[in-house]
Amino acid sequence: MSDANALEALIQALRRLPGVGVKSAQRMAFHLLQHDRPGAQTLSYALANAAQAIQHCERCHTFTEATVCATCLDERRDASKLCVVETPADQSALERTGAYKGLYFVLMGKLSPLDGVGPHDIGLKKLFDRALDGTVQEVILATNFTAEGEATAHVISEGLKARGLHLTRLARGVPVGSELEYVDLGTIAHALVDRR
């Protein structure tokens, strides 16, 4: 591989990251090669190691190096509550709040018929098996408030509703510290409907 090909391959690889265009990828590549070769080696090793070592938890489907993740193994967690999220990043955001002490199921996506993503692609059967294990009493639907996230929550809700589980959905509304005149109308409308 020639010098130009190796550089171009690095730039194209960096472009695979979300939100990274050609110019950003070039800046990153040039920075790493010109100013931080040890950082480039560290990044290369960490990425290769993570791609090799990280797998899906057998119980909740999140990322882990073990067969079952630490959250699922934590006996202090409330096993009667199962929070369904789209991604490990969503799970991490909920964990950072410190407000939820139950268990999770990570879909690793959302229903999106236009993109060819159906129920089998996001593991709904595995979710239903987990939710109906006899321990779970409440399923908390914490999918995103996008069209696809709402559709995913609806399909899950319809699939579990008749089986005696208590289903809840994350509340949505006006963000703390915001002024109403700057909040989008959809958020205000949902906050009015979901008021308590």
pLDDT tens sequence across 66-112: 999 999 999 999 999 999 999 999 999 999 989 999 999 999 999 99
pLDDT recorded at residue 4: 65
Task: Pick out the chain residues at pLDDT < 70.
Answer: 1-4, 196
Note the pLDDT of residue 156: 94
Report CA-CA distances (Å) from 33 to 37, 171, 177.
Answer: 5, 46, 43
Residue 54 token pair: 């990280």
Q: Phi then psi for 182, rounded to 5 degrees?
A: -105, -5
User: How many C-beta atoms surround the C-beta of residue 23 within 10 A?
Assistant: 9
The reported pLDDT for the residue numbered 3 is 61
Burial category of 75 from C-beta neighbours within 10 Å (exposed 0-12, middle 13-18, buried 19 and up): exposed
Distance separating alpha carbons of residues 135 and 78, to the nearest angstrom: 10
HSE, side-chain direction, 13 A CA sphere, residue 61 = 23
CB 142 within 8 A of CB 170: yes
* This prediction's pTM: 0.83
